[in-house]
Amino acid sequence: EVQLVESGGGLVQPGGSLRLSCTASGFSFTSSAMSWVRQAPGKGLEWVSSISGSGATADYADSVKGRFTISRDKSKNTVYLEMNSLTVEETAIYFCAKNPEYFGPNWLESWGQGTLVTVSS
């Protein structure tokens, strides 16, 4: 059974930084691209970033490009999202999701439970 467990959320001041983690189990980690999607309170879903199975390729939403970095560690079966220069508008639940294939844009077949990031002074 696929399991994705996010952690690292919390309260951060505007302009601050945070690193989210997503630990995966139940599938071949390096065979799947992974993604982060966020959802502001009471709002819809917004794709943030995806990384290929090898970690060689990453894509980002324009809204986070240059400030967020996605990475993965195959020895820990973990995907990370490093977030810098956070704004209050980025307060959201951040979900980790598994793509069905190794590379490229795809649907998000399995999701973690999410971790809440609150940006506030």
Partner 1 sequence: DIQMTQSPSSLSASVGDRVTITCRASQGIRNYVAWFQQKPGKAPKCLIYGASSLQNGVPSTFRGSGSGTDFTLTISSLQPEDFATYYCQQYDSYPLTFGGGTKVEIK
Examine residue 2 and tell whether it contacts partner 1 (CB under 8 A): no
Query: Which among 14-22, 74-82, 83-91, 98-106 is the span making contact with partner 1, rule CB under 8 A?
Result: 98-106
103 Cβ neighbours under 8 A, 6+ residues apart: 33, 52, 53, 57
3-state secondary structure of 87: coil
How big is the site for partner 1, counted in residues (CB under 8 A)? 21
DSSP state of 5: E
Binding region for partner 1 (CB under 8 A) out of 13-21, 67-75, 78-86, 109-117: 109-117
Which residues pair with residue 20 across a beta bridge?
A: 81
Residue 53 or 112 with smaller CB distance to partner 1: 112
Which residues 6+ apart lie within 8 Å of 37 measured at CB? 45, 46, 47, 48, 94, 95, 97, 108, 111
Part of the chain binding partner 1 (CB under 8 A), chosen from 8-16, 23-31, 77-85, 104-112? 104-112
Binding site for partner 1 (CB under 8 A): 35, 44-47, 50, 59, 61-62, 95, 100, 105-114
